Amino acid sequence: MSVNTITASTSSAAGRIAPALLSVFFGLFIVGFVGFSPMDVVHNAAHDARHANAFPCH
């Protein structure tokens, strides 16, 4: 009984945290692409936003 309860609570915590972690990494990937990509084309497209957001630029 008590074993079941523990299993249930850990799996629900994991179910809550795994998608949240995925969201964090997905978000970091997008910010990294827009703000830190070394590609000239991406840099030029996002140029003004990069400067205004104080991402290291040029």
Partner 1 sequence: MSLFRSLVFTSVLVGLIVGAVVTLAQFLGTTPLILAAEVYETGDETESHDAGTVADTAHGHDAAASTEAHDHHNADAWAPADGIERTAYTLAANILTAIGFALVLNGLMQISGRQSDWRSGLIWGLCGFVVVMLAPGFGLHPELPGTPAAPLFERQVWWVGTALSTTAGLALLFFQRKPWAAAAAIVLIALPHVIGAPLPPDGEQALAPETMSHRFVVIATLTSLLFWALLGSLSGHLRRRREA
List residues near partner 1 by CB under 8 A: 15-17, 19-24, 26-31, 33-36, 38, 40-41, 43-58
8 A C-beta contact, residue 55 and residue 35: yes
Nearer to partner 1, 3 or 54 (CB): 54
Closer of 7 and 15 to partner 1 (Cβ): 15
Residue type, 42: V
Return the number of the residue (7 or 28) whose C-beta is nearest partner 1. Answer: 28
How far apart (Å, rounded) are the C-alpha atoms in residues 58 and 45?
Answer: 13
